[in-house]
Amino acid sequence: MENKYRHIEKASFLKRFMPAGAALLGWLVLHLISENLGWIENRGTYKLAMNTVHVVLFFYLAFNGFFVYRAMLMKGANLVERIAGSYMTPLAYAIKEIIRVSEFFTVGESFFYCLLTYPVLGLFVWQAGLLATSEMLCRKYYKKRNRYEGNTVAAVPLAISIFSLIALYFLFLYDDGGTAFYIYMESYKMIFK
């Protein structure tokens, strides 16, 4: 794939992945904070702290790729590096969930649970749409500054964005997610029972 961005210096490998590493470290800190708030004795303060940390954690995970993708582009990362870096934090979250549920399920069931349930699958699908949207916004930003040659809106990023929205609709909104859950449960019974 041809690079149509001009005048963006390619930084060293470590510098290109610095935004992804910083995002992963930020998620890890937030996760550790959420796991270790048990020292707060006041019930109201504990609930407020937990709710605040989890809301921040939700938005951090949900919009992580949008900002990491753009930061890595500014460091000169190619498309594959930008996608890999943007998925580092969601992948770490998925691995954490697999480890968490492996206490109760077999390894196969843990992978099935984590990779096909709403939080993880929805996060991966959402990230794909955000990365595609971020790519189009980066193209627009650099085209305005005469540093990108090509179309701002291209077929592939637009199709990925649309597919992401449709998939999220069917996962979460259509029939209140009941149809997707039914398919998930029937698949689970077919494979593991």
Highest mean pLDDT: which of 17-21, 120-124, 146-150? Answer: 17-21
**Does 4 fall in a domain?**
no
- Supply the range of the domain harboring residue 26: 13-192
**Does 5 fall in a domain?**
no
DSSP string computed for 1-40: ----B-S-----HHHHTHHHHHHHHHHHHHHHHHHT-TT-
What domain count does the chain have? 1
**Does 171 fall in a domain?**
yes
Whose tokens are 């593991």? That residue is 192
Measured in degrees and rounded to the nearest 5, phi and psi for residue 190 equal: -65, -40
Considering the entire predicted model, what is its pTM? 0.86
**Does 2 fall in a domain?**
no
pLDDT in tens, 169-189: 988 888 878 888 888 889 888
Confidence of residue 2 (pLDDT cuts 50, 70, 90): low
**Does 122 fall in a domain?**
yes
CA distance 76 to 58: 28
**Does 63 fall in a domain?**
yes
**Does 118 fall in a domain?**
yes
**Does 62 fall in a domain?**
yes
